[in-house]
Amino acid sequence: MAVKKELLTGNDVVLKAALLAGAEYFAGYPITPSTEIMNGWAKEAADNPKLLFLQTEDETSAGMAVIGGLLAGKKTWTVTSGVGHILIQDPLVLAETLSLPFVMYVGQRGGPSTGTVIYSQQELNLARYGGNSEGLRVVYAPSNIQELFEITQKAFNTAWRYRLPTIILGDGYLTKTLSPVDTSRVIPAEKAEAIFLNKDVKNLRNCFSREDELAEHLNILFAKYAAASRQIVESESYKTNDAKIVIFAWGTVGFAAKVAVANLRKQNKRVGLFRPITMRPFDDRGAIKAVQKADKILIAESSGGQFGRIVRETLTQATDAEYVRLYKPAEGITSEEIEAKIKEIY
């Protein structure tokens, strides 16, 4: 297929990708920096009677409306950010226990509380384990707008194929940036079907009167999640085979880190990058393999160590390398800053 380049924002890309993935029903509540996605869907629905749109009174209601649409077999989804992401965790964990393909895009913004409406990587813990939950969900972390286009399509397929809630964890920079995107890179869409009307579904249960009953249900979900994780888990290892220093970064910071590695390699510095693409499940094996020759590990993130804790826990028994931190909570990190840090510690 011929390349088709379009100049789009991240918000434009999420909307276009969702439509290509077969999304039929959107329920949501406006919140910066993701409101443009909802507005775009509303315009599409006004022109296309096959598309459904509901603006709810808050994000909790939006999540419950998504569940209603899923039960009827509609490819239903939502978007949110920041404090809205907190509110929507209740319906999200309901989707976990009912094994529903709940799809959500999150444009992270700075916190605590209302914080800023711009950017951060501070919603990682919330995305991975929010709510009274065991984190039986998939969390994708695109690093640039082209990847956002493809991952959003993939997220719908993953959700429906494995019956798992799936989050695309972006940020304010990613959603607002204007960038050329090859929109010819379309992924065939997974088929949707009515879950509540499925003859094999006798009862969708989320309330248990005995502890052993809930434990039995959880063990079934754990086994399903473990099997699916082997197929879903994804990461990028860039020039790590001989790397003396390996950078661990994700999302847009991961993109900046890759630019930094490419520049540093031209200066004959043995630097590499490990970038998780799925933040949950996390590619433990890939991370461990990436640091086999490393003396130092630089963790770069726009939070106060949420990602760093995952990295250190993963690598506890795998390496004696020294950890170096480049933490900037709620602030962006440029490739130049990463290069400067590497030169300082090389």
- Say yes or no: 225 and 255 in one domain: no
CATH code where residue 144 lies: 3.40.50.970
The ranges of the chain with pLDDT < 50 are none
Structure tokens at 31: 């919140």
Mean of per-residue pLDDT scores for the chain: 96
pLDDT at position 1: 67
Q: For residue range 113-158, list pLDDT tens digits in order.
A: 999 999 999 999 999 999 999 999 999 999 999 999 999 999 999 9
**Whole-number Cα distances in Å, 335 to 121, 252, 300:** 16, 10, 11
Q: Which of 210, 232, 254 is a domain's end point?
A: 232
| Contact by Cβ (8 Å): 57, 29 | yes
Phi, psi (rounded to 5 degrees) for 337: -65, -40
- Say yes or no: 150 and 294 in one domain: no
- Say yes or no: 125 and 247 in one domain: no
- Say yes or no: 227 and 292 in one domain: no
Number of residues in the chain: 346
pLDDT at position 197: 66
- Say yes or no: 50 and 80 in one domain: yes
How far apart, in whole angstroms, are the C-alpha atoms of residue 143 and residue 16?
18
Q: Which of 232, 252, 277 is a domain's end point?
A: 232
pLDDT at position 202: 64
- Say yes or no: 24 and 70 in one domain: yes
- Say yes or no: 19 and 152 in one domain: yes
- pTM of the entire predicted model: 0.97
- The total of other beta-carbon atoms located within 10 Å of residue 52's CB is 17
**CA 1 to chain centroid:** 28
Structure tokens at 255: 């993109």
Phi, psi (rounded to 5 degrees) for 176: -95, -20
Which amino acid would we find at residue 93? V
- Say yes or no: 215 and 244 in one domain: no
Half-sphere exposure of 294 toward its Cβ, with a 13 Å CA cutoff?
29
- Say yes or no: 122 and 216 in one domain: yes
Number of domains in the chain: 2
DSSP designation for 192: P
- Say yes or no: 57 and 180 in one domain: yes
How far apart, in whole angstroms, are the C-alpha atoms of residue 123 and residue 82?
7
CATH code where residue 271 lies: 3.40.50.920
Structure tokens at 331: 């602030």
- Say yes or no: 179 and 131 in one domain: yes
Q: Which of 169, 203, 232 is a domain's end point?
A: 232
**Which residue range is the domain that position 241 belongs to?**
235-345
- Say yes or no: 212 and 245 in one domain: no
